[in-house]
Amino acid sequence: SDIEKGTYPYYMLKEIDDQPAVMRRVIQEYTDSMGKAIIDPEIIEKMTASDRIYIVACGTSYNAGWVGKAILEKMTDIPVEVHLSSEFGYNMPLLSEKPFFIFLSQSGETADSRQVLVRTNELDFPSLTLTNMAGSTLSREADYTLLLHAGPEIAVASTKAYTAQIAVLAVLAKAVGDHKGLEASKEFDIAHELSVIAAVMETIIDEKMAISQLVEEYLSETRNAFYIGRGVDYFVSMEASLKLKEISYIQAEGFAAGELKHGTIALIEEGTPVFGVITDKKTAAHTRGNLKEVESRGAHNIVIALASLAKETDQLIIPDVHPLLTPLVSIIPTQLIAYFATLQRGYDVDKPRNLAKSVTVE
Ligand code: G6P
């Protein structure tokens, strides 16, 4: 069954490996034989009628929300804001006239997110929960639910729920964009693109040994590390650094590549590992420039790049996928980096100190 870890030493590794199958399950659950997105028409109508989408979430789900924003805005032409539940509830920003709320929660039980949902229900705003847990609190209390179909996620560090959230948000974006008759979404063959993603995920997962060696080479001694990128590569950097710090206890920061020079670059020392995420043509050259800046201050750079943007010296090269979906593949090596860093340091991958899988206090 899904809950068995079988021959795997840790659930996290199994759950990383599960991701191609999860992508295929999302295709199966949410697209028809013609590749058309299948989503409850009521959700589509409510979203189309709204003037602003508010994504509310915590932790890894929050990081998935930023990627979702990029996809939703491109495909639907509706502005999207992303908020931390624990901030939003008590300091609600000025809302638009017709807001639509999307709650992202693997467990569907996170108290910080529920607290916001209780508020938005009082205000009578439409809401949708994306969750892995049918019948969970956030699912029951929201107007609508889309299940992630990722299968049970046991490791505290979330992996497949992150990629499933992005994939389901992409299907949702496609459905709304099609409903609005938008050009961008017409050209977005979601079933095909997600099947390409699944295949590319497999090729990265096959590189485990190389990634493990890279970790040994660059992360064995360090106390801190950086991930940098721009746009979606920045969003991936936020999640990649959260993954690394929460299980390996290496102090890691995900940073907007261009902002580093305005202060944080002071932390770069001889040997500080800096991972550059480069999947966006518009910003690739600029991020490379920022990597040069840190290298000249002693940083050890490791570059994760899309094949079409890669240089020979880049350590991790990822086959090209649809430009809006690159986070689904660029995140995979970073999950494996976190896994191997933790393993090599001798910590419990699945049960990091101080953390819980589901946090039911505010
Ligand atoms: C906890 C978990 C994180 C998770 C966050 C949000 O802190 O340790 O991995 O991202 O809660 O959880 P949710 O179930 O709402 O996605």
Q: pLDDT tens for residues 286-327? A: 999 999 999 999 999 999 999 999 999 999 999 999 999 999
Q: What's the pLDDT at 361? A: 86
Site of tokens 């929300």: 65
349 ligand 1 Cβ < 6 A: no
Q: Summarize pLDDT for 136-186 with one digit per residue, the tens.
A: 999 999 999 999 999 999 999 999 999 999 999 999 999 999 999 999 999
In this structure, is the dihedral angle defined by the CA atoms of residues 302, 304, 305 and 307, taken in order, positive or negative?
positive
From 12, 56, 58, mutation site for ligand 1 pocket: most ligand atoms within 8 A of C-beta: 58
158 ligand 1 Cβ < 6 A: yes
Q: Summarize pLDDT for 210-248 with one digit per residue, the tens.
A: 999 999 999 999 999 999 999 999 999 999 999 999 999
pLDDT at 3 over 80: no
Q: Using the mean position of ligand 1's atoms as its centre, give its distance from the Cα of residue 19 in Å.
A: 18
Least confident of 12-26, 36-50, 328-342, 348-362: 348-362
- 336: Cβ contacts below 8 Å, ≥ 6 apart: 16, 204, 205, 207, 208, 211, 212
110 ligand 1 Cβ < 6 A: yes
Residue 183 CB neighbours (<10 A):
8
CA proximity to 325, closest of 169, 203, 184: 169
86 ligand 1 Cβ < 6 A: no
Q: Using the mean position of ligand 1's atoms as its centre, give its distance from the Cα of residue 245 in Å.
A: 14
357 ligand 1 Cβ < 6 A: yes
The mean per-residue pLDDT over the stretch 342-351 comes to 95
Whether 351 is catalytic: no
Q: Using the mean position of ligand 1's atoms as its centre, give its distance from the Cα of residue 352 in Å.
A: 13
Q: What's the pLDDT at 1? A: 47
Q: Using the mean position of ligand 1's atoms as its centre, give its distance from the Cα of residue 110 in Å.
A: 7
pTM, to two decimals: 0.97
- What percent of the chain is predicted at pLDDT more than 70? 99
Q: Summarize pLDDT for 35-74 with one digit per residue, the tens.
A: 889 999 999 999 999 999 999 999 999 999 999 999 999 9
What pLDDT band is residue 34 in, cutting at 50, 70 and 90?
A: confident
